[in-house]
Amino acid sequence: MHRRSACILLGACLLAVAPTAGVPPPPVSPTPKPALGAALASSGYTLSPEKYAKAVAFARARYRLHFAGFFWSVLVLVLLLRLRVAVRFRDRAEAFSKRRFLQASVFLPLFLLTQSLLELPPAILRHRVWLLYEQSVQGWGSWLWDRAKELLVATAVGIPIVWLLYAILRRSPRRWWLLFWLALFPILVFLIFLAPVAFDPLFFRFERLGPRHPELADSIERLTASVGVRIPPDRMFEMNASAKYRALNAFVTGLGASKRVVVWDTTIERMTVPETLFVFAHELGHYVLRHIPRTIVFLWALLFVLLAIAAAVLTRILGRDASRGWGIRSLSDWASFPLLLLVLAVGSELALPVVNAYSRGQEHEADVFALEAIHRIVPDSQRVAAQAFQVLGEVSLDDPAPSPFIRFWLYSHPPLAERLRFAAEHDPWGRGEPPRFGHRFAVGRFATAPLGVACC
C-alpha cells in the first residue's frame, strides 16, 4: 500500500503503477523454522511477550499515521487553495504558452513538486517509525531518491491524463465526470501492462528465479500447471526486496506479454520452499479466481460514484461567492486542481471501508484457494500454511488483536490471527467434503487468460 499521492485524481490509474518503495525491511540471516504441529493450530498466532508489546505499539503507530497523514493531506490542499498557490502556477503556465498541453506540462510539475514537499513531514515520520520498529533498512538517501522517482513517474503519467481531464472539462462542463470516467478504463489497463517492465525496475532489481532457486522454480511450475496457468521459466523473477524491506511477499503481475511471477528474496530467505509456495499460491488464487478483473471493475464503478458526487459538490462550491477569493475562474481552470483533489481525497477516505470490505472477501477466497492448491503438492499443507502465517506475522509485527473499528476501516485483509486459525482448521478432505475450489484444478482451463496484478 502506498502513501497518498498528489495524484489522487489519477488514483485508478496510478494505483496500477504505484511503486512498492517506501515500506521497511532489513536483510535477516536464515533462521531455523520451529515445528508447529497441533500446538500452533490450537493456540493460533502467538508472539513472545516482548514481541507482542512491540507489535501492538507498531500497529498503533501505523493507525495514527494513517489518519494523521490523511488530515495533513487535506490541510495541505486547503492551504494551497487559500494561499492561491495553484493560481500563481496557472498564471505561469498560461504565460508560457497558449497551447493547453504545454500549459499542463508547466502547471502539473510545479503543483506536484510543491505538494510533495509540503507532505514530506508525515512521510518522514512514517519512514522513521518503520526504521524504529525494524521494518525497514532503507537509508534516508535511498528513501528520498525513491520519492523523487515516484514524483517523476506521477508527473510523466499525470501530464497527459490531467490535460485530457481539462480538455473534457472545457468541452463538456456538465458531463465531464462521465466522459473522463469512461476514458480512464483503457488508461488503467495500459498502465497495468506497462508497470512490470517500465516502472517496477526503477525501484528494485529483478533476476531470473530458476538459476538462483531451481527447487522453488520447479515447485511453482508444478503448482501453476496444476491450475492450468502456463508461465515459462523466463517469466519467473526474484526481487531484491531485502535492500529496503523486511516484509515477505510474492505476486503475479502484468498483462499479456508483460505477465510474470515475482518472489521477494525476503520470502525465500525466511521461509521454507513449501511455505513460500503457499504464499505464492495465495497470490495465484487472485488470478485464477479472476479477482483482478473483478477488482478493476469494482474500483472503476466506485470511481463512477466518486466522480459523480465530486461533480455535484464542485458545482455547488464554485457557485458560491466565497470561492472567488480562491482565484478560480471555473472548474475548467487549472487552478481548480487542488479543489478537485480535495473533494476526491475526502471521498476516497470515506469509501475506504467499502473497498476494504470487498478486499477482505477476496483475500479470504485466495487463502482457501491456496490451501486447496498446495494440498496435492505439499505434505501437511494445513501446518505449512499456518506456519507461513506465523512467520509473516512475526516478521511484519502484525497486530495480534486489532479493534473492530480499525479492522472495519483499515484492514484490506482479514486479521492475521483469523487467517492462521482458518488455515489450521480448513480440512474438507478429513470431513469427506469436496474442496471449495476443487473444480478449478483442471489443467488447461485458464491457460489462455492473461495474468493480472495481485499483491498480498
Residue 218: the pLDDT is 87
> Which pLDDT value is given to residue 425?
92
Those residues with Cβ within 8 angstroms of residue 128's Cβ, 6 or more apart along the chain or in another chain = none
Q: Is the pLDDT of residue 267 over 80?
A: yes
Q: pLDDT digits over 392-444, tens only?
A: 999 999 999 999 999 999 999 999 999 999 999 999 988 888 888 877 665 43
Lowest mean pLDDT among 104-108, 252-256, 342-346: 252-256
- Global confidence as pTM: 0.84
Which three cell numbers mark 45? Answer: 498466532
Asked if the model's pLDDT at residue 13 lies above 50, the reply is: no
| Cα–Cα distance for residue pair 318/302, rounded to 1 Å | 24
pLDDT at 9: 40
Q: What is the mean pLDDT of residues 328-355?
A: 95
Residue 89, C-alpha cell as written in the block: 502556477
3-state secondary structure of 28: coil
Local confidence band at 279 (pLDDT 50, 70, 90 cut-offs): very high
Report pLDDT digits (tens) over 136-192. 999 999 999 999 999 999 999 999 999 999 999 999 999 999 999 999 999 988 998
Residue 30 CA to its chain's centroid (Å): 27
Q: Of 75-84, 91-100, 259-268, 429-438, which range is least confident?
A: 429-438
Contact in structure between 387 and 45 (CB atoms under 8 Å): no
Is residue 260 over pLDDT 90?
no
Model pLDDT, residue 442? 54
Per-residue pLDDT tens digits for 190-237: 998 899 999 999 999 999 998 999 988 888 888 888 887 777 888 889
Lowest mean pLDDT among 66-70, 252-256, 276-280, 447-451: 447-451
Q: Please check the confidence at residue 300 and state whether its pLDDT lies above 60.
A: yes
Residue by residue, what is the 3-state secondary structure of 68-121?
Answer: HHHHHHHHHHHHHHHCCHHHHHHHHHHHHCCCHHHHHHHHHHHHHHHHHHHCHH
How is residue 147 written as a grid cell? 520519492
CA angle (401, 57, 386) in 5-degree steps: 40
Cα gap 339→319, rounded to integer Å = 13
- Indicate the average pLDDT of the chain: 86
Residue 456 has pLDDT above 70, yes or no: no
pLDDT, residue 226, reads 83
Specify the higher pLDDT residue, 229 or 315: 315
